[in-house]
Amino acid sequence: MDQDQIELYAQKSDIDNNLSDPAVIAKYRLSADIAQDALTKVVARVVQGARVSELCAFGDEIILSYTSKVFNKNNVEKGIAFPTMISVNDCVEYYSPTGEADDDVVLQNGDVVKIELGVHIDGYIATNGHTVVINPNPAMPVEGRAADVICAAYYAAEAASRLIKVGNSNVQVQEAIAEAAALFNCSPVEGTASNEIKRYVITTEKMILNVSDEENNPMQDFVFVANEAYTINVLISSGDGSCREGAAKPTVYARNVHENYNLKLKSARAAFNEISTVFGVFPFTIRALENKRHRLGVTELASHSLLTPYPVYYTRASDKVAQFKMTVLVSATGTTRITPALPMPFVHSAYTIPQDSGIARIMSTEAVKVVKSGKALAGIGASDVAAPGQGMDVDM
């Protein structure tokens, strides 16, 4: 790419990611409204006996149902930006089973369940995530380490949302996440991060690591500026935060647009064509491949780096992991959260947040503006589903 091409690309990127453009904001908000409705409906089905594979498929169906009904006149790309993923207890992230007997999970009372998903309209991405506990006695709060880790993740995410604003730095956010976790005797999960997003770009070089890793993944210090969008993705463990790749095989992949290879297998070529046409640059689950024979080609695509897998990681079996995820837009006048929080699970932690702590000071500042028009889903099949939960019980 010569200098002229680089300059043209930069100009196009500036236009595509101009958050002062009402058309851009409208697409972000529509993505967010669809993601919010899908998440709410999936959370309502998280009960004892539910199968994770069926819940994931249900979340994806909701997203596709909505996106199939909008922006159909101009061939605008839209759909799933991140497939529905449900990770339970010590499973960290990216678990989205196909439904085969050996790769599914049936939810049980006491499980800490993390749900995340994402939507895009014309490449404008909104992702969100929430944690619930399957409580066999909803009138009583969940206590113990499950309560501690949920409180830690909640306050870490809320602190992060307040700190992502013009003039602050990613280091400040990382330090707040670490402090919130420590107050509840928990730890951020290594290898996980929040990141800047752009049109058709899930992550840029601007990342906020939940745990600093200067040896393997040195963090670039930066300051937040106006006209940026971020996915805040906070994962906290009741243990030491270390994790490993588990027995569950990856089922979530994304195209690696920087690699080329002359594929030999017919199934691999057919799979690549379907992936490129249907999913584009966004992550997808092999469950979504219409032709099951195309799943056989995924192995060759991944072996030649045409696909990038999202490995399923686990902490220690005795640990619990909680996650909260949201999308925020940064402007000169303030930061706006476009995927609002869902009702919190009814938990009570034995730990408190000292009034003189940094987290207490951050939480005392004004929360980010939350925008959800509700109009975006009008007339395309939206219906209200109440999310369960009575809220947290935390002393400050």
pLDDT of residue 365: 93
Helix/strand/coil percentages in the chain, nearest 5: 30, 25, 40
C-alpha closest to that of 284 among 15, 134, 84:
84
Structure tokens at 15: 């236009």
User: Phi then psi for 162, rounded to 5 degrees?
Assistant: -75, -25
d(CA 221, CA 244) in angstroms, rounded, equals 27
Q: Comparing 15-29, 109-123, 263-277, which segment has the lowest mean pLDDT?
A: 263-277
Regarding beta strands 334-337 and 369-370, do their DSSP bridges make them parallel or antiparallel, or are they unpaired? Answer: parallel
300-352: per-residue pLDDT in tens? 898 889 999 999 999 999 999 999 999 999 999 999 999 999 999 999 999 99
Q: Where are the domains of the chain?
A: 20-250+310-395, 251-309
Which residue matches tokens 């951020």?
188
Regarding beta strands 244-245 and 112-121, do their DSSP bridges make them parallel or antiparallel, or are they unpaired? Answer: unpaired
Q: Determine if the pTM surpasses 0.85.
A: yes
pLDDT of residue 381: 54
Cβ burial of 207 (10 Å; 0-12, 13-18, 19+) is middle
What's the DSSP call for residue 74? T
> What CATH architecture does domain 20-250+310-395 belong to?
Alpha-Beta Complex (3.90)
Stretch 159-188: mean pLDDT, rounded? 97
Q: What is the 3-state secondary structure (H, E, C) of 235-266?
A: EEECCCCCCEECCCCCCEEEECCCCCCCCCCH
Please indicate whether residue 97 or residue 6 has the higher confidence score (pLDDT).
97
Contacts with 328 (C-beta within 8 Å, 6 or more apart), sequence order: 161, 164, 229, 230, 232, 335, 336, 337, 338, 368
Fold of the 251-309 domain? Arc Repressor Mutant, subunit A (1.10.10)
pLDDT of residue 250: 93
pLDDT of residue 393: 55
d(CA 365, CA 163) in angstroms, rounded, equals 10
Cβ burial of 378 (10 Å; 0-12, 13-18, 19+) is exposed
Q: Produce one character per residue of 266-299: b if its CB has 16 or more CB atoms within 10 Å, e if not.
A: ebbbbbbebbeeebbbbbbbbbbbeeeebebbbe
Contacts with 257 (C-beta within 8 Å, 6 or more apart), sequence order: 281
What's the pLDDT band for 386 if we cut at 50, 70, 90?
Answer: very low
Stretch 35-64: mean pLDDT, rounded? 97
Beta bridge partners of 36: none
Which residue matches tokens 């060759």?
300
Percent of the residues in the chain that have a pLDDT greater than 70, as a whole number: 89
pLDDT of residue 10: 64
d(CA 52, CA 345) in angstroms, rounded, equals 19
Structure tokens at 55: 């819940």
pLDDT score of 101 more than 80: no
Stretch 161-176: mean pLDDT, rounded? 96
d(CA 236, CA 243) in angstroms, rounded, equals 11
What's the pLDDT band for 259 if we cut at 50, 70, 90?
Answer: confident
Average pLDDT score over the chain:
89
C-alpha closest to that of 134 among 394, 364, 345:
345
Which helix (H) or strand (E) covers residue 350, if one does? strand 348-352
pLDDT of residue 373: 59
Cβ burial of 222 (10 Å; 0-12, 13-18, 19+) is middle
